[in-house]
Amino acid sequence: MSTFVLDASVAVAAVRRAEPSHAPARARLALVLAGRDRAIVPATFDAEITSALVRAGVSPIAARRYLDHELAARQVVTIGPRAARAIATMAARTRLRATDAAYVWVASARGVPLVTLDKDVASKANGICPVELL
Q: Hey, is 88 helix, strand or coil? A: helix
Query: What percent of the chain has a predicted confidence (pLDDT) above 90?
Result: 99
Could you tell me how many residues make up the chain? 134
Residue ranges of the chain with per-residue pLDDT less than 70: none
- At residue 77's C-alpha, the angle toward residues 16 and 10, to 5°, is 20
Q: 91: how many CB neighbours lie within 10 A of its CB?
A: 18
Rounded-to-integer distance, Cα 21 and Cα 15, Å:
10
Task: Provide the pLDDT for residue 38.
Answer: 97
Cα separations (Å) of 71 from 41, 75, 78, 84, 102?
Answer: 10, 9, 17, 24, 19
Q: What is the pTM of this model?
A: 0.94
Q: Considering the domain 2-133, what is its CATH architecture?
A: 3-Layer(aba) Sandwich (3.40)
Task: Provide the pLDDT for residue 32.
Answer: 93
Which of 54-61's residues contact partners 24+ apart within 8 Å by CB, and which partners? 56/16, 58/15
Rounded-to-integer distance, Cα 90 and Cα 126, Å:
13
Task: Provide the pLDDT for residue 1.
Answer: 87
Rounded-to-integer distance, Cα 1 and Cα 14, Å:
20
Task: Provide the pLDDT for residue 60.
Answer: 97
